[in-house]
Chain A
Amino acid sequence: MNEALTLQYVKTTAEMLMLPLEDAQAARVAVHLQRTAAMVSLLDSAGLSAHDELAEIYCPAPFPAADPTLGSTGFNA
């Protein structure tokens, strides 16, 4: 994405997020975003497959210290 398109993106998304940016600041933000975009392109070389899931950012419960007691039938109902 070139400078003009990045600036356009910044202004549009800032408006969508209700961020009040003046033109000079939008231009500075666009520079940062272009720098980040260059880093994103680095990640293209990581060779991620569809099966490469996210690193955990949420843990629903602590991992149990031991297996839960099984029912008398040998399996949980």
Chain B
Amino acid sequence: MSADHKQFGDAAQMAAAVRQGEASARELLTTSLARIEATDARVNAFTSQTQDRAFAEADAVDARRSALLKKGESLAALGALAGVPYAVKNLYDIVGEVTLAGSVINRSHPPAEADAFLVKQMKAAGAVLVGALNMDEYAYGFTTENTHYGPCHNPHDLACLSGGSSGGSGAAVAAGQVPLSLGSDTNGSIRVPASLCGVWGLKPTFGRLSRRGTYPFVHSIDHLGPMANSVAGLALAYDALQGPDAHDPGCHAQRVQPVAGALQRSSAGMKGLRIGVLNGYFDDNASAAAREVVALAASTLGTKASVQWPDAGLARAAAFIITASEGGSLHLDDLRTQLASFEPLSVDRFVAGALQPADWYLRAQRFRRIYRDRIHALFVDWDVLITAATPVSAPLIGTEWLDINGTQQPCRAAMGLLTQPISFAGCPVVTAPMWPSGTKGMPLGVQIIAAPWREDLAFAVARQLSDAGVAQVKPAAC
């Protein structure tokens, strides 16, 4: 671990340091930029930096602190993330910047006229935006092997995948470049890179956070969420991001339900929680390393209960069909006119999706409704369910096929095997970074799943795993 990385701390510690005058926002920013400068030529997490804006935001935090002190007012007004550097997947609008969404086609788009809703929320909390992050083109992938901007490398082993599609968001946190990042998750795009890079990630309830001002992929499944180097930082970011938004038709939350305060006070929220381990489909598609981290989490949480998640295979199929159909339809105009400019690794899937019969899509959407009822019934008996986030730890970049328990699976699709059924139900999931044996030091995350709108329960369990020391972010050698 470098000295800079050691000093970095997590978002909660950094914001506290700024409030208490132990560090200025400008100093934290300078540390972050130095770390990016020292590592990103190898990691390739960033596609652009917003240094002028970042210094302006950091200086504004420092100036506000001075003004509050002068007036004798509370420094709480600085915001929960005062001076904390962060970065966003490059599908988030940043005012004055072109929103690439991992593509070259979008380079011809005009710069964004306003920040995305969630970027505004982060700014209001005092966070400092340092740049935009690498991703799979239009979020259609689990590996961030972006042909246009280069693959994002795993900070724990540069030869390995970072995961995707929010690969830059996972790698930037794992590399110690920023303590927080924002990503998106349609079928696993926060949870897969969180698992492979060894960082904390949150895919909230579908409809919890506004998606306004981000480039869409699949309207009926898209989620946004944070990634962080601590569970406390993840909770602070999640609270800052919350807020009803009547202008996003998919934002169903009508009020803020913060978690960070309760999480800081105690772990009493764990008492009496009914926690189970997913079996069947989830066990069948988990490698020995994935089973090992789930078993460790289960023993730490004191549970031996084995639980069947209903229709996991069908849910993955339905999510796959809806994703292809909505994604293909969304990009049909560009597929007609700029086919050769698309990402070679995903263009054929976009085209195939555009050609799918309506019956396939409608059948999948009808299934989603009865699936939701079955998931609601499951959570009558359980509070939190756990399973691995990825079948394996990070494969080498360029891997085409994976052997999962004797079955050959296409690597780029198989990374989402364990995440797709959960996001299709819309349940909130915290991904906890864990470190199995036999993976040459590479991480593999565990999904902590709760019923819709019960992020608080997933966070309570996440804190338990963090306090026990079995889930943690480790420094990367990059």
Complex-state Cα separation, A18 to B351, whole angstroms: 11
**In the complex, which of the residues B219, B320, B336, B355 has the most CB atoms of chain A within 10 Å of its own CB atom?**
B355
Q: Chain A residues with Cβ under 8 A from B349's Cβ? A: 32
Is B246 part of the binding interface, using a Cβ–Cβ cutoff of 8 Å? yes
| Stretch from B2-10, B32-40, B361-369, B449-457 contacting the other chain | B361-369
Contact B356 A36 (CB under 8 A): yes
Complex-state Cα separation, A32 to B355, whole angstroms: 11
Nearest CB on B from A65, distance (A): 8
Contact B311 A46 (CB under 8 A): yes
Counting residue pairs across A and B whose Cβ atoms lie within 8 Å, the total is 99
Complex-state Cα separation, A39 to B321, whole angstroms: 8
- Contact of A40 with B355 at beta-carbon distance under 8 Å, contacts A19-B336, A53-B369, A55-B369 already known: no
Is B332 part of the binding interface, using a Cβ–Cβ cutoff of 8 Å? yes
Q: Chain B residues with Cβ under 8 A from A14's Cβ? A: 351, 355
Contact B320 A48 (CB under 8 A): no
Complex-state Cα separation, A56 to B219, whole angstroms: 12
- 10 A-B contacts (beta carbon < 8 Å): A9-B355, A10-B352, A18-B336, A19-B332, A19-B335, A25-B347, A39-B317, A48-B363, A52-B366, A55-B220
Chain B residue nearest to A9 (CB atoms) is B355
Is B348 part of the binding interface, using a Cβ–Cβ cutoff of 8 Å? yes
Q: Chain B residues with Cβ under 8 A from A45's Cβ? A: 314
Contact B354 A17 (CB under 8 A): yes
Task: Specify which of B321, B355, B363 is in contact with A17 (CB 8 Å cutoff).
Answer: B355
**Contact mask for chain B residues 42-54; partner A; CB cutoff 8 A; 1 contact, 0 none:** 0000000000000
Is A43 part of the binding interface, using a Cβ–Cβ cutoff of 8 Å? yes
Is B402 part of the binding interface, using a Cβ–Cβ cutoff of 8 Å? no
Complex-state Cα separation, A41 to B351, whole angstroms: 20
Task: Specify which of A13, A20, A57, A62 is in contact with B355 (CB 8 Å cutoff).
Answer: A13
Complex-state Cα separation, A33 to B368, whole angstroms: 21
Q: Chain A residues with Cβ under 8 A from B354's Cβ? A: 17, 19
Contact B366 A29 (CB under 8 A): no
Q: Is the interface of A mostly helix, strand, loop or mixed?
A: helix
Chain B residue nearest to A58 (CB atoms) is B249
Complex-state Cα separation, A59 to B269, whole angstroms: 35
Complex-state Cα separation, A36 to B360, whole angstroms: 9
Q: Chain A residues with Cβ under 8 A from B367's Cβ? A: 43, 46, 48, 52
Instruction: Give me the interface of B with A, judged by CB distance under 8 Å.
Output: 219-220, 246, 249, 311, 313-314, 316-318, 320-321, 324, 332, 335-336, 339, 347-349, 351-356, 360, 362-370, 372
Which of the four size classes fits the interface of chain A?
Answer: 20 to 34
Chain B residue nearest to A62 (CB atoms) is B246
Contact A42 B370 (CB under 8 A): no
Nearest CB on B from A40, distance (A): 5
Nearest CB on A from B317, distance (A): 4
- Contact of A43 with B362 at beta-carbon distance under 8 Å, contacts A17-B354, A20-B336, A33-B352 already known: no
Complex-state Cα separation, A40 to B316, whole angstroms: 11
Nearest 3 A/B pairs, CB to CB: A39-B317, A32-B352, A55-B368
Nearest CB on B from A46, distance (A): 5
Complex-state Cα separation, A17 to B347, whole angstroms: 16
Task: Specify which of A9, A13, A43 is in contact with B364 (CB 8 Å cutoff).
Answer: A43
Contact B336 A55 (CB under 8 A): no
Task: Specify which of B317, B348, B362, B365 is in contact with A29 (CB 8 Å cutoff).
Answer: B348
Complex-state Cα separation, A21 to B313, whole angstroms: 32
Contact B369 A29 (CB under 8 A): no
Q: Chain A residues with Cβ under 8 A from B314's Cβ? A: 42-43, 45-46
**In the complex, which of the residues A10, A43, A58, A62 has the most CB atoms of chain B within 10 Å of its own CB atom?**
A43
Q: Chain A residues with Cβ under 8 A from B372's Cβ? A: 55
Complex-state Cα separation, A42 to B313, whole angstroms: 8
Nearest CB on A from B343, distance (A): 14
Q: Chain B residues with Cβ under 8 A from A62's Cβ? A: 246
Complex-state Cα separation, A6 to B59, whole angstroms: 60
Contact A43 B363 (CB under 8 A): yes
Task: Specify which of A9, A32, A39, A54 is in contact with B348 (CB 8 Å cutoff).
Answer: A32
Complex-state Cα separation, A33 to B356, whole angstroms: 7
Nearest CB on B from A75, distance (A): 29
Nearest CB on B from A1, distance (A): 11
Task: Specify which of A20, A21, A43 is in contact with B318 (CB 8 Å cutoff).
Answer: A43
Contact A36 B365 (CB under 8 A): no
**In the complex, which of the residues B219, B316, B363 has the most CB atoms of chain A within 10 Å of its own CB atom?**
B363
Q: Chain B residues with Cβ under 8 A from A21's Cβ? A: 339, 351
Nearest CB on A from B248, distance (A): 11
Chain A residue nearest to B320 (CB atoms) is A39
Nearest CB on A from B244, distance (A): 10
Contact B311 A54 (CB under 8 A): no
Q: Chain B residues with Cβ under 8 A from A43's Cβ? A: 314, 317-318, 321, 363-364, 367
Contact A52 B369 (CB under 8 A): yes
Contact A36 B351 (CB under 8 A): no
Contact B351 A48 (CB under 8 A): no
Contact A17 B332 (CB under 8 A): yes
